[in-house]
Structure 1
Amino acid sequence: MSVKKAVIIVILLECLVAAFAFYNYGQSLEALQAVTRYSGRVSLLVFSTIFLLLPQHEGTLERLLSPRPFLVFVIAHGIHLAELLSFVYLSGNELIPVRLAGGFVAYIFIFAMPVVKQYTLTGKLSIQRYRVIQTVYLYYVWFIFFMTYLPRVQGKLAGAGGQYWEFVILLAWVCMMLGMKLQTFIRFSR
């Protein structure tokens, strides 16, 4: 799939989840919270594809997502970040410094990864270093998704919006992703 087509699909998905949220919640702060939540799930879908297919199935990833999957994820998660910042600002919610720091590092990774990949393609960064950075990126961003849903399942984030069962399913999916990744790693290391 081309980068342009992947970006258009991501933007269409973001528009659909926004329409769904506003249809269900009207024009309200609750709707913006729902848009932010659903947008995070679009990002999780894009990241799941990247996480599960790299590095062993890079060709499949390029066919499914684009030759620049990190850029597609930047766009999806950049939209989510804009919605999240809008919601936090408008709602007056207090930010939790530890969660903020972990998310900040994840966003640095997310926004830097397309540049890191480009440096590798142009020979400015060795394949070995790229593989190390890619591995750290994949598992760190996975960990942030895990830490997004764990406290919600534990009931530690009052006012997070959404239903408990949604968070259980999302946490189970994130855990299954790690299991599938480790299974692929074991299979390819033999």
Structure 2
Amino acid sequence: MNYLLRGIGVLAAVGTISLLAFSLPSGEAHGDGGGDALPRLTHKAWQQECASCHIAYAPAFLPKASWRRVMGGLGQHFGEDASLDPATQADILRFLEINAADAGNSRIGRKVMQRMDAQDAPLRITESRWFVRKHDEVPRATWSRKSVGSAANCAACHRQAEQGVFDDDSVSIPK
């Protein structure tokens, strides 16, 4: 009888673990709520250099041509000199291109590209048709609130932005 109870306990534990393992999001889909989760990416130079001033924007938010424009203009990067040594700049650009919206590596990147003409290369994520559509219900005045700052400050409303989670369920617009 004791062995039978242990056996049932082991089966229950294995079943529970299996159920959890197969129901948890994997790979790109974490915190997904509506398909707006990003691949978990790590790249030391990208995280170190880009996140020193703002969140390290996910490569899937823009196509390769846009990232080339951004990285090609680091000397005058939205009013700042964000110049890098050529090797670091090339390394980050390579990473951005491999993971860009049009690289086909992520669901959110494919969504971004569905709303973009092939020749489009917006310099700002906030100028993409995908971004505009996703934020069409946000009043213009919200972006200028001191607690938000601008549409580029993802983390103001998307509390898990730095972890790549942008689903509607985790949005909290500050007053």
Q: TM-score, normalised by structure 2?
A: 0.32
Q: What TM-score, normalized by structure 1, do the two folds share?
A: 0.31
Which has the higher Rg, Structure 1 or Structure 2? 2
Q: More relative contact order in 1 or in 2 (CA 8 Å, sep 6+)?
A: 2
Q: Which has the higher helix share?
A: 1
